[in-house]
Structure 1
Amino acid sequence: MSRPVGFAGISAAMVAILVAAGSPTPLLPIYEKAWGFPPWMLTLAFGVYAIALLIAILVVGSLSDHVGRRPVMVGALGLELVAMVVFLVAPSIGWIVVGRVVQGIATGAASSTLSAAVVELAPDHRKKLGALMTGMAPLAGLGIGALFAGVLAQFASDAAFAVWLVLVVVMAAGTVFTLVTPETATPKPGALASLVPRVSVPPRVRTLFASTLPGMIGVFMTMTLYMGLVPTVLAAVFKISSPLVGALGAFVAFGAGTVVSAFTSAVHPRRLRLLGATGLAVGAILFVGSVGTVSLPLLWGAALFGGAGLGAFFSGATRGLVPEVEPHERAGLFATLYLVAYLAMGVSAIVAGLFVGVVGVTTMAIGFGVILALVALAGVLATAARRAG
């Protein structure tokens, strides 16, 4: 097929992968009610997804540079299809956990390869469109996925079956489409060697990198909050069982992040990180207030500020770091950044789940919000202390 058609199709596949990643958010409380498992299993299902995604990024993140984009894309989308089938037929929470592990591996394998293919397939006179798509797709896909699943869960008689059936069809179509997409990378030796994880931070950006770490941890803890914890908090603290309301938290957060990422390209990276870390802190404080007072408007405010903060900080961090390193150093740098970020996401979710059984949902949520606020404030101080970059 033509490259423009391939660009449109692979862009859609990239969004679809993230839509699938966001879809479990409003469904997990439905599973909890139907199967009667403890709340900590919900956070485990989210945590193992993040850890599996991290491992896949570290191991196969650069494989497509050696074997070509298309084989890795086909394999990742095919594995994502397997995960959707597991969710579709799952009879218990154990199956959901297994499905999330498979989904995490598929998403991690797909992320860098699909991003590279989108940029390479973009028309020569519209390369910025490809870069914009790769920047916006992750947050937009997560938000759309949560809203899509929330709407179906609200109005469909068998919500989970409907959501996963649609996504099975989408992933099957994406896998077939990718088979006939033009190859954009020339295979080269070293495929096996590329599977050895390489994490590194070039000496000239180590100070800048260190200053971004608190904020990046805050970004991914905020993602954990709205993808993994808020639906449980709504059900246990606010007594709201509507899956649509549960989905709106993630949709507002990731929608705000998408908008900020798209319209702040003219803002200096350091200023953007400073604004982002501040937004994360304000969002965390509002979240604590919303749980303490059982105020839904405060929760939406928290999602808005936290989402805007995560979009601003992530954009500012990547825009500050990328120009400072050589092209051959970027893979190791981002592998290190994602190692910290996804560990923060997965570990914070699992630890929060363990504390639910000990102190209850309300205390766990307030504690998580306080820690997130402190991490974000550390990001503000670390960014403010650095005068450039």
Structure 2
Amino acid sequence: MVAVFAAVGSTIPLFNIYRAEDGFTNSGISLTVVAYSAATLSSLLVLGRLSNHVGRRPTAIASLGLLVLGCLLLLDVHDIGILIAGRLLMGLGAGLASSSLTAYIVDAAPARPTWLASVASSQTVMLGLAVGAIGSGALVQFGPWPRDLVYLVVVGLLLLSAALVAISSETVTPVPGGWQALRPDVRVPVRVRQLLPVAAAVLLGTWATGAFYQAFVPALVQDQLHTSSSFVLGLVFATYMGASALGAPLGGRFSPAVAQRIGMIAFLTGWIGIVTAIASGTLPLFIAATLVAGAAQGIAISAATRGLLLGSSLADRAPIFAVVYLLSYSGATFPSLISGQLSHTFSLPQIAAGYGVLALITTLVTAIAARNPTTDMPRPGRLGT
């Protein structure tokens, strides 16, 4: 999972190079984020239950293979269409990994501590994005072949990961019905339904912010915070994502409802600092506020995931994670699509303020409506088709 999302994060420090050398616009960069998220959504809808039928290992290896193809395509980016196509392949691979590899992690996790499975499954995404961004920033800034080396390194990590998965133990027994599983059909246990509105608010607010950091922070760092360093850009993005992985275990000390409230209130505090830093052009404040928002989202996301997983059976896990990431990437896709169009009219600080308002709304929903999961035995239910 870390390798998958390191591949996804590796592209971000290169966005300013593509803007400067190839004439890509903020709107075009935002469109690549939309393409990635839309491909991930499609993969989740169609392939979210596939690992229950063909096994965790084959689907995990297929997801890594799609990421390899995406990286190879990005070795020659001089047109926005190539960048979009590469990100589409990455999105397909990330979507397949989001359901199969996360379920694989939970299958293999020990029973104690109880929060370990939810933290490991939800925060490897953030950790991978952080590793990819800061590693890419360092290679772009200080290494040879700034447009290519990072993709070659990531391909090596993905191939190594595929080899390790191939020699690992399978955790599910393949069952017939794989073709039927490709029909979009999102299922969750009945007991989870009452938790979905608040989980959706948490995932919308936090993942929209992650998409904001991908699409607009490269330009903000250069234009508003006055640095063109690819390493600093990677460091800023890694601060947000890496802090999420560090903050996530803190939520395990509280019930899911309390942890979600604490996380989202701290997340809003971070956003207030982010908007203030952009308005004043203060890079240290921006990094500090990014750190707060990142750690806070880790608390909130892992708590929401923990609540949804409580009492889940082996067969429930892949569908639950498909729903989690379906909500997550919806939160990344639609605000990015809207803000990308608005970027033709509004300035980057105004776009950032809009995301701050979204953080306020999702925090209010969480503070008012968060609740703890029940311990009833789960029964299969249908969320929608």
After TM superposition, is the score higher than 0.5? yes
Mapped to 2, the partners of 1:373 and 1:236 lie a distance apart of 26
Does 2:101 correspond to 1:114? yes
Which residue, 89, 102, 105 being the options, matches 2:76?
Answer: 89
Mapped to 2, the partners of 1:197 and 1:278 lie a distance apart of 35
Which residue, 126, 130, 135 being the options, matches 1:148?
Answer: 135
State the partner residue of 2:2. Answer: 15
Deviations 1:199-219 (A, max 9, x none): 245554433322333222111
State the partner residue of 2:354. Answer: 367
Mapped to 2, the partners of 1:319 and 1:78 lie a distance apart of 29
Which residue, 283, 301, 309 being the options, matches 2:296?
Answer: 309
Q: The residue matched to 1:359 in structure 2 has which SS?
A: coil
Q: Does the aligned pair in 2 maintain the 1:201–1:332 contact within 8 Å? A: yes
Q: Does the aligned pair in 2 maintain the 1:201–1:333 contact within 8 Å? A: yes
Mapped to 2, the partners of 1:121 and 1:334 lie a distance apart of 15
Q: Does the aligned pair in 2 maintain the 1:280–1:373 contact within 8 Å? A: no
State the partner residue of 1:288. Answer: 275
Mapped to 1, the partners of 2:365 and 2:110 lie a distance apart of 42
- Structure 1 unaligned blocks of 5 or more: 1-13
1:215/1:127 Cα in 2 relative to 1: closer, same or farther (>3 Å)?
closer
State the partner residue of 2:151. Answer: 164
State the partner residue of 1:229. Answer: 216
Mapped to 1, the partners of 2:176 and 2:366 lie a distance apart of 41
Q: Does the aligned pair in 2 maintain the 1:261–1:311 contact within 8 Å? A: yes
State the partner residue of 1:4. Answer: none
Which letter maps to 2:361?
Answer: L
State the partner residue of 2:27. Answer: 40
Does 2:85 correspond to 1:101? no
Mapped to 2, the partners of 1:115 and 1:237 lie a distance apart of 37
State the partner residue of 1:76. Answer: 63
State the partner residue of 1:379. Answer: 366
TM-score scaled by length of structure 2: 0.88
Which letter maps to 1:255?
Answer: G
Q: Does the aligned pair in 2 maintain the 1:285–1:373 contact within 8 Å? A: no
1:371/1:67 Cα in 2 relative to 1: closer, same or farther (>3 Å)?
closer
- Structure 2 unaligned blocks of 5 or more: 375-385
Q: Does the aligned pair in 1 maintain the 2:268–2:359 contact within 8 Å? A: yes
How far off is 1:69 after superposition?
2.3
1:127/1:89 Cα in 2 relative to 1: closer, same or farther (>3 Å)?
farther
Which letter maps to 2:300?
Answer: F
1:327/1:66 Cα in 2 relative to 1: closer, same or farther (>3 Å)?
closer
Which letter maps to 1:100?
Answer: R
Deviations 1:115-134 (A, max 9, x none): 33345556899998766543
Mapped to 1, the partners of 2:339 and 2:154 lie a distance apart of 29
1:130/1:309 Cα in 2 relative to 1: closer, same or farther (>3 Å)?
closer
Q: The residue matched to 2:353 in structure 1 has which SS?
A: helix
The alignment covers a number of residue pairs equal to 374
Deviations 1:20-57 (A, max 9, x none): 11111211111111101221111111121111112112
Which letter maps to 2:70?
Answer: A
* Superposition map of 1:210-249 within 5 A: 210-249=197-236
Which letter maps to 2:367?
Answer: V
Please list every run of at least 4 consecutive aligned residues from structure 1 whose deviation after the TM superposition is greater than 6 angstroms: 122-131
TM-score scaled by length of structure 1: 0.87
Moved more, 359-368 or 267-276: 359-368
1:124/1:222 Cα in 2 relative to 1: closer, same or farther (>3 Å)?
closer
State the partner residue of 2:37. Answer: 50
Mapped to 2, the partners of 1:65 and 1:325 lie a distance apart of 14
Does 2:263 correspond to 1:276? yes
Q: The residue matched to 1:264 in structure 2 has which SS?
A: helix
State the partner residue of 1:3. Answer: none
Which letter maps to 1:54?
Answer: L
Q: Does the aligned pair in 1 maintain the 2:251–2:303 contact within 8 Å? A: no
1:388/1:128 Cα in 2 relative to 1: closer, same or farther (>3 Å)?
closer
Does 2:194 correspond to 1:194? no
Q: The residue matched to 1:299 in structure 2 has which SS?
A: helix
Which letter maps to 2:152?
Answer: L
How far off is 1:97 after superposition?
0.7
